[in-house]
A and B are shown apart, each in its own frame.
Chain A
């Protein structure tokens, strides 16, 4: 096999993992270019952790292969793979100091003593833990322990760093802090980061690209922005951010738009996907794309009357829950900056408007294992 090694590149090629009769990971493929911050996102049991553990070498794939820097490592022992893992429970050795913990890897790899000291110091400085090098893990806070776990992995200078929900045990404030810290460390080291999380906000904050997984299948691999603005299916749309799902009946088609006539000048316009007159499609509109105040009426605008069911004032914006006359309930985010006059109240009649290009049609038959059309190996 003549594959040019690319630093930190990981290729997952049609990986399947079965535990008994349960398929944890189902024919999954994706590529992670060297140096990328890549996340696997999905609800628990979606196969993201299993995939990560296969990259680390703790699980053997049932089928398919894992290529690390151009080398097939599918069945290479974890110790012999140039990747390191950061565990959710940190996995720090309680009987060793911070420095001893970090030195563990290089010591086993028989790195010369002077170099070990140098590298440990450097790794601890990277995670800003150099001042506490002589502490035992029990004397550190959760965030500090996580930093040590990071240093212990980074000190080995791995081709890729694998992170298994590393911030899961931290409280919200600390988690936000560590998210930015991880981004900084990623930028400093240039190492490939493969990050597993079930927290969509965390994935969006940190990742360059995200693989959204469900039931062992990859739903979509894309940048955070693509995932949010062009989700491949209803699951991705629902998992990433809040979304309003509306059913559109095609009453007429004009200018490439499907129009559903609701009377009283009310209408819903959606991009035409060729479903034809009388067909039904589902569209998704993000809450911040819908307008309640302001008057942006015009061609191609959807407008539907509704009643306010709930008003939640959130400081910079207001969240409105609105029952449309179609019987559907939508969430609308309006910036308070644009508000003239008083906040609307529950029960007030309103007109919800949005531009047709703010909505997108979802097709639930497509887009699982999006990258699975790779040539089969060999």
Chain B
């Protein structure tokens, strides 16, 4: 045995390094190509279209800011944007009010039912949204189960007509969509909390309100922010729910995009609105991200 290492050529070292660096990248080329083709490309097309104008029959084409200008000046869009903000934000708050106690229960109180409950949560929520929305229609309609029940018990004589095709129904249905995306990150951050912290707080005289306010909520905050990123965006851009259970007062920006593109055929305005919504959601995501960072324990 030689005690000194045999000389290795520089070339072999270099090649090994290149292979080591590129190998992970090579694995990514496939997915990256798919993403570029099917996600990035349409986005770029959208971007181009939002700045294009085209006269009737395409005789004149060129670049313009008119699409965006119209969105900002037309009072209709301002009203729709306000309604969207109200509906999405209310639904977000409602979801958190449901998801937080639910996560708490699954994380700390469910015992051996923890895993089954998690699976159930995912299953229920992954139900086809159209099916779920129609189920709500059967519940909320003028001749729906709720009205029938209330009349049968004699609580009301005339069916309630604000249950369906109103802001209320849209908020209610949206509040129950994506609950798993809301609950799972909160659950995950709660799982990281040592139960001994609650015992320590109890030992120091804290009741459950203090335990939640001073221990549980601050420590679960990162999960709450992730939940907001995950859920607020689909809530804000949704158009299926207002389309199926909403009325005139619950027309949302998502519906505007759909109508502009599909019904009116104004692809320029539709693209511009889509991009504005994308930008707004990026802002929400960035804010939530920094709130999470801020809250992170070093």
Is B a genuine binding partner of A?
yes
Measured CB to CB, the residues of A under 8 A from B are 56, 58, 78-79, 84-85, 87, 89, 91-95, 104-105, 108-109, 136, 138-139, 152-153, 156
Q: Which residues of B lie under 8 Å from residue A138 when comparing CB positions?
A: 297-298
Top 4 closest pairs, chain A to chain B, by CB: A91-B200, A105-B204, A91-B196, A79-B205
Is B298 within 8 A of A136, CB to CB? yes
Q: Which residue from chain B places its CB closest to the CB of A58 in the assembled complex?
A: B199
- Shortest A106–chain B CB gap in Å is 9
Known: A89-B194, A108-B204. A95 touches B297 (CB 8 A): yes
Known: A136-B297, A136-B298. A79 touches B207 (CB 8 A): yes
Q: Which residues of A lie under 8 Å from residue B206 when comparing CB positions?
A: 79, 104, 108
Known: A94-B219, A95-B219. A84 touches B298 (CB 8 A): no
- Shortest B66–chain A CB gap in Å is 51
Q: Which residues of B lie under 8 Å from residue A87 when comparing CB positions?
A: 196, 199-200
Q: How far is the CA of A78 from the CA of B219 in the complex (A)?
A: 23
Q: Which residue from chain B places its CB closest to the CB of A102 in the assembled complex?
A: B204
Q: Which residues of B lie under 8 Å from residue A78 when comparing CB positions?
A: 202-203
Q: Which of B199, B201, B202, B204 has the most CB of A within 10 A?
A: B204
Q: Which residue from chain A places its CB closest to the CB of B192 in the assembled complex?
A: A94
- Shortest B14–chain A CB gap in Å is 42
Known: A94-B297, A95-B219, A138-B298. A105 touches B205 (CB 8 A): yes
Asked if B197 lies at the interface with its beta carbon under 8 angstroms from chain A, I say yes
User: Can you name 11 A-B residue pairings with CB atoms under 8 Å?
Assistant: A58-B199, A78-B202, A79-B203, A93-B197, A93-B201, A93-B214, A93-B215, A95-B297, A104-B204, A108-B210, A156-B205
Q: Which of B196, B205, B206, B215 has the most CB of A within 10 A?
A: B205
Q: Which residue from chain B places its CB closest to the CB of A79 in the assembled complex?
A: B205
Q: Which residues of A lie under 8 Å from residue B196 when comparing CB positions?
A: 87, 89, 91
Asked if B218 lies at the interface with its beta carbon under 8 angstroms from chain A, I say yes
Known: A105-B205, A109-B205. A91 touches B298 (CB 8 A): no
Contact of A152 among B204, B218, B297 (CB under 8 A): B204
Q: Which residues of B lie under 8 Å from residue A95 when comparing CB positions?
A: 218-219, 297
Q: Which residues of A lie under 8 Å from residue B205 when comparing CB positions?
A: 79, 105, 108-109, 156
Q: Which residues of A lie under 8 Å from residue B297 when comparing CB positions?
A: 94-95, 136, 138
Q: Which residues of B lie under 8 Å from residue A104 when comparing CB positions?
A: 201, 204, 206, 214
Q: Which residue from chain A places its CB closest to the CB of B210 in the assembled complex?
A: A108
Is B197 within 8 A of A91, CB to CB? yes
Q: Which residue from chain B places its CB closest to the CB of A84 in the assembled complex?
A: B203
Q: Which residues of B lie under 8 Å from residue A109 when comparing CB positions?
A: 205
- Shortest A19–chain B CB gap in Å is 14
Q: How far is the CA of A95 from the CA of B221 in the complex (A)?
A: 11
Q: Which residue from chain A places its CB closest to the CB of B206 in the assembled complex?
A: A108
Q: Which residues of B lie under 8 Å from residue A108 when comparing CB positions?
A: 204-206, 210
Q: Which residues of A lie under 8 Å from residue B201 when comparing CB positions?
A: 93, 104
Q: How far is the CA of A94 from the CA of B194 in the complex (A)?
A: 10
Known: A105-B204, A108-B210. A91 touches B194 (CB 8 A): yes
Q: How far is the CA of A79 from the CA of B207 in the complex (A)?
A: 8
Q: Which residues of B lie under 8 Å from residue A91 when comparing CB positions?
A: 194, 196-197, 199-200
Q: Which residue from chain A places its CB closest to the CB of B202 in the assembled complex?
A: A78
Is B219 within 8 A of A84, CB to CB? no
Q: How far is the CA of A17 from the CA of B210 in the complex (A)?
A: 29
- Shortest A119–chain B CB gap in Å is 13
Q: How far is the CA of A91 from the CA of B203 in the complex (A)?
A: 11
Q: Which residues of B lie under 8 Å from residue A153 when comparing CB positions?
A: 203
Q: How far is the CA of A136 from the CA of B204 in the complex (A)?
A: 19
Interface string of B168-211 (1 = CB under 8 A from A): 00000000000000000000000000101101111111110010
- Shortest A158–chain B CB gap in Å is 10
- Shortest A35–chain B CB gap in Å is 21
- Shortest B108–chain A CB gap in Å is 15
Q: Which residue from chain A places its CB closest to the CB of B204 in the assembled complex?
A: A105
Q: Which residues of B lie under 8 Å from residue A89 when comparing CB positions?
A: 194, 196
- Shortest B205–chain A CB gap in Å is 4
Q: How far is the CA of A72 from the CA of B222 in the complex (A)?
A: 43
Q: A87-B196, A104-B201 are in contact. List 4 more A-B contacts (CB 8 A).
A: A89-B196, A108-B204, A108-B206, A156-B204
- Shortest A66–chain B CB gap in Å is 15
Interface string of B247-273 (1 = CB under 8 A from A): 000000000000000000000000000
Q: Which residue from chain A places its CB closest to the CB of B200 in the assembled complex?
A: A91
Q: Which residues of A lie under 8 Å from residue B204 when comparing CB positions?
A: 79, 84, 104-105, 108, 152, 156
Q: How far is the CA of A35 from the CA of B297 in the complex (A)?
A: 39
- Shortest B124–chain A CB gap in Å is 33
Q: Which residues of B lie under 8 Å from residue A79 when comparing CB positions?
A: 202-207
Q: Which residue from chain B places its CB closest to the CB of A56 in the assembled complex?
A: B203
Q: How far is the CA of A84 from the CA of B199 in the complex (A)?
A: 11
Q: Which residue from chain B places its CB closest to the CB of A85 in the assembled complex?
A: B203
Q: Which residue from chain A places its CB closest to the CB of B215 in the assembled complex?
A: A93
Q: How far is the CA of A105 from the CA of B200 in the complex (A)?
A: 10
Q: Which of B197, B203, B205 has the most CB of A within 10 A?
A: B203
Q: How far is the CA of A92 from the CA of B197 in the complex (A)?
A: 7
Q: Which residue from chain A places its CB closest to the CB of B196 in the assembled complex?
A: A91
Q: Which residue from chain B places its CB closest to the CB of A94 in the assembled complex?
A: B297
Q: How far is the CA of A102 from the CA of B298 in the complex (A)?
A: 20
- Shortest A7–chain B CB gap in Å is 20
- Shortest B135–chain A CB gap in Å is 41
Q: Which residues of A lie under 8 Å from residue B207 when comparing CB positions?
A: 79
Q: Which residue from chain A places its CB closest to the CB of B221 in the assembled complex?
A: A95
Q: How far is the CA of A87 from the CA of B204 in the complex (A)?
A: 12
Q: How far is the CA of A271 from the CA of B196 in the complex (A)?
A: 51
Q: Which residue from chain A places its CB closest to the CB of B218 in the assembled complex?
A: A95
Q: How far is the CA of A216 from the CA of B171 in the complex (A)?
A: 57
Q: Which chain B residues in 22-58 approach chain A with CB under 8 Å?
A: none
Q: How far is the CA of A58 from the CA of B196 in the complex (A)?
A: 11
Q: How far is the CA of A85 from the CA of B199 in the complex (A)?
A: 9
Q: How far is the CA of A87 from the CA of B198 in the complex (A)?
A: 12
Q: How far is the CA of A92 from the CA of B297 in the complex (A)?
A: 13
Q: Which of A56, A58, A105, A156 has the most CB of B within 10 A?
A: A105
Q: How far is the CA of A108 from the CA of B205 in the complex (A)?
A: 6
Q: Which residues of B lie under 8 Å from residue A105 when comparing CB positions?
A: 204-205
